[in-house]
Amino acid sequence: MQITYLGHSCVLLSGSRKVLIDPFIEGGSVASARPDIVAVTHGHADHLGEAVALNRPTVAITEIAKYLKAKGVPAEGMNIGGTITLDGVSFVMTPAMHSGWIEEAGSGYCGGSAAGFVIRMDGVSVYHAGDTGLFTDMKLIGELYRPDVALLPIGGRFTMGPDEAMMAAQFVGAKTIIPIHYNTWDKIVQDPHPFKNAIERTTDLTVKILEPGGSWELQS
Ligand code: NI
Ligand code: MN
């Protein structure tokens, strides 16, 4: 499976299917990714992004799925703790410590809880934490789903920063950590290198820093 970091929280998993998580990048479009399936972690604009315009089968929490269906998107609703399989790709919805309002003109919409996903395809497993603070049940995610890779936010302010993400990485135990949700804007500026150095010095985990547009091949 190829993992491509398109930027911010947006990641494309390319294997037997193309799965696009959180279809938003700053100042551009992710339409050229041409995903088979879209997954949305929560209702904030920097995650819901182009989900409506892409108009692909979209996995999201029931509240967001309802919002998308009303706009004609073939959404698949689910909720935290549940699993669905689409086209041979399985999605476990995991908790996230965050909010989830769908910001739109007027009062907006309730987007339900924020979430993350463990996505399994072609025999490998990827955990995308979504936007979240640190929580100890990340240990359960590690124990139950044994992700090979964890995509963890490190930007701070709206999510974990590097210190919390360092503990999150150890809770989850995925061999490879890819930092996300940083350097998109001034408020979430982080240097990922001290994070990488600290983890690699003190654990047997590896941090793969991807520039927006960069890819990494996960062997199954
Ligand atoms: Ni958010
Ligand atoms: Mn966000």
How high is the pLDDT of residue 105? 79
Distance 219 CA to ligand 1 centre (A): 30
Element (H, E) at 179: strand 176-180
Positive or negative torsion for Cα 203, 199, 141, 33: negative
How high is the pLDDT of residue 89? 98
Interior/surface letters 118-133, b for 16+ CB within 10 angstroms, e for the rest: bbbbeebbbbbbbbbe
How high is the pLDDT of residue 204? 98
Q: Which residues surround ligand 2, an ion (CB under 5 A)?
A: 46, 131
The pTM of the full predicted model, rounded to 2 decimals, is 0.98
Distance 9 CA to ligand 2 centre (A): 7
How high is the pLDDT of residue 220? 78
Element (H, E) at 19: strand 18-21
- The residue among 187, 176, 165 whose CA lies nearest residue 209 is 176
> How many angstroms separate the first and last alpha carbons of the chain?
7
- The residue among 177, 172, 183 whose CA lies nearest residue 199 is 177
Q: Which residues surround ligand 1, an ion (CB under 5 A)?
A: 44, 131
For 54, 82, 141, 149, the CA distances from 14, given in Å and listed in that order, are 17, 23, 23, 14
How high is the pLDDT of residue 219? 86
- The residue among 108, 133, 118 whose CA lies nearest residue 44 is 108
How many H helices and E strands in the chain?
6, 14
Distance 139 CA to ligand 2 centre (A): 22
Distance 130 CA to ligand 1 centre (A): 8
How high is the pLDDT of residue 194? 98
Distance 158 CA to ligand 1 centre (A): 7
Distance 38 CA to ligand 2 centre (A): 17
Phi, psi torsion values for 60, nearest 5 degrees: -160, 165
What angle do helix axes 192-202 and 162-172 make, rounded to 10 degrees? 40
Please, what is the Cα angle at 115 between 105 and 125, to 5 degrees? 135
132, 109 contact by CB (below 8 A)? no
How high is the pLDDT of residue 208? 98
**Which residues of the chain fall below pLDDT 70?**
none
